[in-house]
Structure 1
Amino acid sequence: MHIAEGFLPPVQAAAWTAVAAPFVIHGARAVVRQVRDDPDSRLLLGAAGAFTFLLSAIKLPSVTGSSSHPTGTGLGAVLFRPPVMAFLATVVLAFQALLLAHGGITTLGANAFSMAIVGPWVGYGAYRLVGRLGGGLSLAVFFAMALADLATYSTTSMQLALAFPDPESGFLGAAAKFLSIFSVTQIPLAIAEGLVGVLMIRILRDVAMPELVRLGVLKDPAAAEPVPADRTEA
């Protein structure tokens, strides 16, 4: 889903950068606030960024000028909320463009909009919805990861369709074509990513429960315990 360097028309590349910039700036402020208010969360914050980097660096050739891969942004959105991931995932995309030639600098705004903004917000929305419906943490994280991935690929498909409309069917025809081509690889990847997310949240529940409680992902077990009755009365 990383659109390659120079693949978008310059005007569209600039427009996507302008649209993404406010979210990224807001996300940078959210990261500063998170570290200031909870310094102990820095390790988990770094782990969320590294997790996104590793998963989204696994790429499979797909639509010309793009690729299919997991995103990893759903887990970070669950842990730290989507604004934080808008900044972290954009940093990840910038490093991948510079170090791995995965994506590009001129297309960074478009890639950030799909993977760092739309994906985390859709994933977080799915997480909250499944939680409200009583689905449990593992199921909520599965849908957060899978739908963040699918939302990212859907947005990229729209971006490519806008840049390269079909000569006969226009934007809608091109969007349908890109979506259908991406789906061959992206749907299985989204399911696999959801399962990886479930595994990761279970590991974090074992090794970093205090951090998850502070972040509001888990309830404090002590607070849930009943208060003993007063046995001093006759």
Structure 2
Amino acid sequence: MNQSKYIFFVIILVFLSVIWNLQNHSYIQTFDHQQGDLGTFSELLYYMNNSATGYSSIQNYALVYLLPFLFFMQQFIGKDTIVVVTRTNKREGIFLREAIAIQFIAMLFAICHSAINVVWTVVYFPVELIIESRLMSSVAWNTICLYLFYSGVGLIYASMKNLLRSSGLGLLGTLVLVGGGFFVSKMILTTYWTPLIDLNLLSNLLDGNANSVEIFWTYLKQVIILFVFYLIGSALYTRKDFL
């Protein structure tokens, strides 16, 4: 990574840290370190990471973290050039290389989000309770879910960029599509499954409401969606005009 990428990486860590502290400040203040037991701490963890308003809420994933992730991704994915195109036998190969880069960035972003969650929890709460709680394993399972979700977001951006022939418009289109999807899911399709619903995995794990079968089913749905997005993006890329 060059210097600008390192700087942006640090900015992402600082941004996530600020969000974590702002959203969990009241919980930190109310926890009694002298009398707090595992039951009280586990309940606190649930509220700190609940799917409605917590650090790991669906709203944060779809709205608050969306733009930073897209900017982060843009730092790593370069623009297509005629030289790159002529050196590759098939355009599908170029898009595949971009899709692989998106996977890496999505995983890095997911790890950053989870690491910030664990690190600041360790800073403010007893390590013994953290070890005894479901936090570490739940965050690990959730990291994979976040990786799949943001991989899909990255492929949406790649598709929108190729469709609209502009990085800026592609970014705007992705914001509208994913952000709009959140509001549609929250206000209209409240009784139906949408891809965003799977982002409540962490709160379900912390609350003990998710087993291995549900985790596998969540991953499977996200992988299928990811594959569909890849096919759409690849088809759009083959039609892209480089001239």
Same fold (TM over 0.5): no
Give the helix-richer structure, 1 or 2.
2
Larger RCO, structure (CA 8 Å, separation 6 or more): 2
TM-score normalised by length of structure 1: 0.41
TM-score normalised by length of structure 2: 0.40
